[in-house]
Chain A
Amino acid sequence: MTKSSIRSPKGPTVVNGILMGYSDDVLANLLTVKAKLCASKFELKIDDVVFIGHPLLLHPVSQETAKRELVTMISFNVVIALLAPIDREILMCYHNLTKQLAIALRHEERRCGLLSEQKRTIWSIQDEIAARPEDSQESPYGPILEKCRLSQQLKHVYDELCSSGVVQLYINKWVHINWCLPHKLHNLYMKDTSHTDTPTHVARPVFRPQKFLIEALRPYHGMLLLIDATTLLDSLPIDASPSLVRLIKVTSPFKSLQTLASDADISLRQVYQLVGHLVYWRKATIIFPLCEANVYVLSPNINTFVNSSLVEKCEESFPNVSLPVILSEFSVPSSLGDHKDVLGLPQQQAQEVQVVTWLLQHGLLVQLHTYVLMTPKFCKSWRQTSHHSVGTDDITDRTRLLSSNSDLNSTASDDSYSLGGRSLEAICDNEDNGPWCPQPEQILAGIRAMRNNKIGALDNQEELTLLARLCPYFDGKHHLEEIMYAENIRRSQLLTILDKFRDILITSQHEDPVISAWLYGAGIKRSRTS
């Protein structure tokens, strides 16, 4: 019951998916543990090879003797051999698989003696081969694979593990194993879109589903299925959760999670869990609901070669669309509204949306969001009016530089966006030694002071109040969509504010770190996949 993976030089190691350097006897001794260590994680690293497994006792100690007079099998272990070094997170995933398999096997052994029966089959084959004359002896593994159901299933598990990273089967046609290696799924996905000829492109952060997925979800996010809804529904197990089925049925890239929750009559929390689940299994991705104001730009690390496989794939879906042309349109950040061909037929407009959806499904586009920050000058004047310590001149200059940068530099790659984001955050943190939460009255006073000094005209009282209300969000950490949702205001209202008070507000565009974190973090170190 040993499986294995990949290359390396000498000593016991894994070469081309085969574990080398150990005899069967040594392995058996190595991987058998004493009763005390059973039912917990088994992890053993020798040189380059990590063995991960889950040993189990077949019967509880007390029943052991009572139940079977002749106990020939006390414990067993399901082990996967992997090439070190390997990320803990991925190792845990492999452990989960061995644990599932071990528990399933134990259940079936107790129910109908599966292991004992298969063991007898294997022994008889071995005996048979050993009994043959020496010249006609062959490796027993071939015949075993032919006759022994269990070994077939384990081989199936290994093959699936290597090819797709998804293992779904019924052990002994009854106990359900339903497992995937998300890192592999997401990595394969990235492989499609990234440069296939850059082996140096390795050290991406590891995809950490737990951390990023559920916690990062917000009601204003949307969900985009990566495969067709019907295909997805068909691929679900026979008794899948009804709420999941409903969610998939009502889903659309135009709807926010909140709308999905209302439409499917499911609680928002459940929607989060379902979406997290679908993203983990790489059936869906998180986007912002499509709307005309959404601004997209090419993803920084995609394959833009004219002859890439993606071009063909795109042609299959949209015969009259050329991928490079579309991509070139998005090499400068542009909103969907800009793209809309006002004079076009409704069908054409619908296709444009479909193309953008397709691009998003393949991770070719990233969305840019507008973040708002108050000008340091205003902060300064406000600080002065409220008798705070000054000394922000240095920061003022930096921000000026930055804001001009972000205006000019909107064609830039993701590096400058993330730099922009980080620097702005840094500024916000540096500005004061505590969180910056001015009182609305103070802000009003500040604005009045500033306006009186410089412009002299007081604005509409309502707008001032709204500005004061929104001030806490103007720290460069909240994008327009979030503000709109949290304060339940329209985009036009918000844009009016931004326009009216542009002398005290700076806007910048960059990605939502929440989305980009797992989108780009979705790779794993290549060396590990078998």
Chain B
Amino acid sequence: MQNTVQNPINEEEILVGEGVGFERIRRITGYLVGTLDRFNNAKRAEEHDRVKHSVDTQLEQI
């Protein structure tokens, strides 16, 4: 096993996570999916189109 990472000089240079994406958990038809990659084309388009629903304006009413 290499011990080079023990060297503080190298630790500034050694990068981790290259090519690693972010996980984006979304709900689909009631259950969750850990990554958008597994969505079918239609569901991907639908997720992309989703807009947020405001709550601020009417909070006082309840």
Q: Are the chains A and B members of one assembly?
A: no
Listed in ascending order, the chain B residues whose CB lies under 8 Å from chain A are: none
Listed in ascending order, the chain A residues whose CB lies under 8 Å from chain B are: none
